[in-house]
């Protein structure tokens, strides 16, 4: 068969319909690649081969009898470990949950399966989905397929590594602090952080919680912009509790061509510097729009103080992350807060204070967020998209030391590890969609991505921009070793 390892899921679905191969043959093709390449990569950490084979056989029977299941009929895919899949473990990398067997599929998984996808494995994550690397004490470390020893990103790092290495055709991750966008950037992929709860999060939880976590969203990773659009259509829409009164009807993008876009560019920040090659890639994407006739501004900004925006994001992010703690961990932090020196302004001390915000303080921050949402709303009345970095650098060397001992080298200067959260927060805090496009490897042979941020529920606009950029040459490239 023509090499399908790096083709898009959309193309593979078409080839299945055309009879180029069967679903079972395509599944075995990917499983063979997993056997050859995954031991060194450690991206796919849970296999579900026998059930996948049964599903593939059923898909072949249905296709032969003129009963296709949907747009992903017969397409093999993996999914992030943090999604519940009935009969498989969901641990979020936490040894305390080592035996946590899911009894029901997450809603997004149900929708992917109804669309015909063949789920054959789960991909690695960091502890509690809280790092830009993907390692934990249960499953070990996932490596970047572009260079062993570099991070593939986190927390959807296993998803991105598997896709970039051609071990799967599609994956879905989650993002609260860049956890879809970072891996897409570090591994040279397309990724989409959806608007908040556009894809219902039910079943993406370590415990039996049904309440959606603040800020955190789901979204696909893929090797093409078309796949992002397809997967979003499959997974998006109200959950059952809302469906009596709401239906999904996203506004189509206003621009119909690259030349019609109104593009703002935010390529650096004093409180979150980025490397020269990251900044240059943002500018290169902006220049591609400008060359197509788009209106482009490097000065346009929403009307708010950027550092205060980030402080609000940091506070509400840590408050949201506190929901991932066990009661014992929470009680321990309460004791630590009581023992803190009031003059201690270290990142660790500030993180504890944010995780233990009083409800009154949380409401104040949330009110500020609502005002920021309106500032973004006004900004996107004038501009269609905002181009920005995803992270400070290309994929950095793995560093599994405690967080307080880590830093990032940005053009030869050490910067705080968490400083680059600024770029994730631009879209995350106010529930905005963000689509990452790859721009190819840098001089070190490491990919760099650029994020396209749009208005709340303007997902089709950012996806349209990504599609146009892919047509202009900003597409997936496979790493040489795979």
- Would you say residue 103 has pLDDT above 90? yes
User: 447 with 385: CB under 8 angstroms?
Assistant: no
CB atoms within 10 A of CB 175: 27
Exactly one of 10, 80, 275, 464 is catalytic; name it. 80
Closest CA to 277 of 394, 112, 119, 104: 394
118, 144 Cβ separation under 8 angstroms: no
Decide: helix, strand or coil at residue 347: helix
CB-based contacts of 16, cutoff 8 Å, min separation 6: 22, 23, 26, 63, 73, 74, 75
pLDDT of residue 451: 98
Q: Where residue 348 falls among pLDDT bands split at 50, 70, 90?
A: confident
Is this prediction's pTM over 0.95?
yes
40 φ, ψ (degrees, to nearest 5): -80, -30
Domain boundaries, the chain: 9-257, 306-364
Per-residue pLDDT for 2 more than 70? no
Choosing from 10, 179, 224, 428, the catalytic residue is 179
Please name which of 449, 454, 444 lies closest in space to residue 476, comparing C-alpha atoms: 449
| Residue indicated by tokens 């303007």 | 458
pLDDT digits (tens, 9 = 90+) for 416-441: 999 999 999 999 999 999 999 999 99
Structure tokens at 286: 């902006």
Percent of the chain with pLDDT over 70: 100
Tell me the mean pLDDT in the region 114-127. 98
* Cα–Cα dist 409/153, whole Å: 16
Kindly tell me if the per-residue pLDDT of 414 is higher than 50: yes
Is 179 assigned a catalytic role? Answer: yes
pLDDT tens digits along 144-184: 999 999 999 999 999 999 999 999 999 999 999 999 999 99
In this predicted structure, what is the pLDDT of residue 3?
87
d(CA 123, CA 51): 17
Mean pLDDT in residue range 188-204:
98
* Residue entry with tokens 């927060």: 425
At residue 142, the pLDDT reads 98
Superfamily of domain 9-257: Amidase signature (AS) domain (3.90.1300.10)
Q: Among 189-193, 261-265, 320-324, 407-411, which is the least confidently predicted range?
A: 320-324
Residue among 156, 195, 208, 179 at smallest CA distance from 323 = 208
pLDDT at 199 > cutoff 80: yes
Whether 393 and 275 have beta carbons less than 8 Å apart is answered as yes
Mean pLDDT along residues 305-319: 97
Task: Give me the residues paired with residue 121 across strands.
Answer: 47, 78
Q: 391 pLDDT band (50/70/90 cuts)?
A: very high
| CA distances for 257 relative to 226, 316, 437, 454, 465, angstroms | 16, 37, 17, 16, 9
Contacts of 414 by beta carbon, 8 Å cutoff, 6+ apart = 407, 408
- Tell whether the model's pLDDT for residue 35 goes beyond 50: yes
Residues in the chain: 482
Q: Regarding predicted confidence, which is higher, 453 or 207?
A: 453
315-341 pLDDT, tens per residue? 999 999 999 988 999 999 999 988 999
pLDDT at 1 over 80: no
Average pLDDT over every residue of 215-219: 98
The yes-or-no answer on residue 80 being catalytic is yes
* pLDDT, average across residues 124-140: 98
Q: Which of 134, 155, 428, 464 is catalytic?
A: 155
Q: What share of the chain is helix, strand, coil (3-state, %, to 5)?
A: 40, 15, 45
């Amino acid at each position: 068969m023509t090499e399908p390892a790096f083709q898009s899921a959309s193309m593979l679905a078409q080839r299945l319909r055309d009879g180029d191969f069967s679903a079972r043959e395509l599944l075995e093709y990917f499983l063979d690649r997993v056997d050859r390449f995954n031991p060194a990569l450690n991206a796919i950490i849970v296999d579900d081969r026998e059930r996948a084979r049964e599903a593939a056989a059923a898909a072949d029977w249905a296709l032969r009898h003129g009963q296709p299941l949907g747009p992903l009929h017969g397409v093999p895919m993996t999914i992030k470990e943090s999604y519940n899949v009935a009969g498989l473990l969901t641990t979020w990398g936490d040894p305390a949950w080592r035996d946590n067997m899911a009894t029901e599929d997450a809603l997004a998984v149900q929708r992917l399966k109804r669309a015909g996808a063949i789920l054959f494995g789960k991909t690695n994550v960091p502890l509690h989905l809280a790092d830009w690397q993907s390692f934990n004490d249960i499953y070990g470390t996932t490596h970047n397929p572009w260079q062993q020893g570099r991070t593939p990103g986190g927390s959807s790092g296993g998803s991105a590594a598997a896709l970039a290495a051609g071990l799967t055709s599609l994956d879905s991750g989650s993002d609260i602090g860049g956890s879809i966008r970072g891996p897409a950037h570090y591994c040279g992929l397309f990724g989409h952080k959806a608007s908040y709860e556009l894809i219902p999060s039910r079943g993406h939880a370590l415990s039996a919680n049904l309440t959606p976590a603040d800020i955190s969203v789901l979204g696909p990773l893929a090797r093409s912009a078309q796949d992002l659009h397809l997967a979003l259509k499959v997974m998006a829409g109200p959950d059952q509790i809302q469906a009596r009164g709401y239906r999904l009807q996203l506004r189509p993008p206003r621009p119909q061509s690259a030349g019609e876009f109104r593009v703002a560019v935010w390529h650096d920040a004093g409180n979150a510097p980025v490397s020269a090659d990251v900044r240059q890639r943002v500018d290169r994407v902006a220049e591609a729009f400008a060359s197509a006739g788009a209106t482009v501004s490097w000065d346009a900004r929403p009307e708010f103080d950027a550092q205060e925006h980030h402080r609000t994001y940091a506070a509400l992010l840590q408050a949201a992350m506190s929901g991932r703690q066990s009661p014992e961990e929470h009680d321990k932090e309460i004791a630590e807060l009581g023992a803190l020196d009031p003059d201690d302004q270290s990142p660790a001390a500030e993180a504890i204070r944010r995780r233990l915000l009083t409800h009154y303080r949380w409401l104040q921050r949330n009110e500020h967020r609502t005002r920021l949402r309106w500032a973004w709303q006004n900004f996107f009345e004038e501009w269609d998209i905002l181009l920005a970095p995803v992270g400070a650098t290309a994929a950095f060397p793995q560093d599994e030391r405690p967080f307080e001992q880590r830093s990032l080298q940005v053009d030869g200067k050490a910067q705080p590890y968490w400083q680059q959260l600024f770029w994730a927060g631009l879209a995350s805090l106010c529930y905005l969609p963000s689509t990452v496009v790859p721009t190819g490897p840098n001089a070190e042979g490491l990919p760099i991505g650029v994020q396209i941020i749009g208005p709340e529920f303007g997902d089709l606009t950012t996806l349209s921009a990504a599609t146009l950029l892919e047509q202009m040459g900003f597409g997936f490239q496979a790493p040489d070793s795979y």
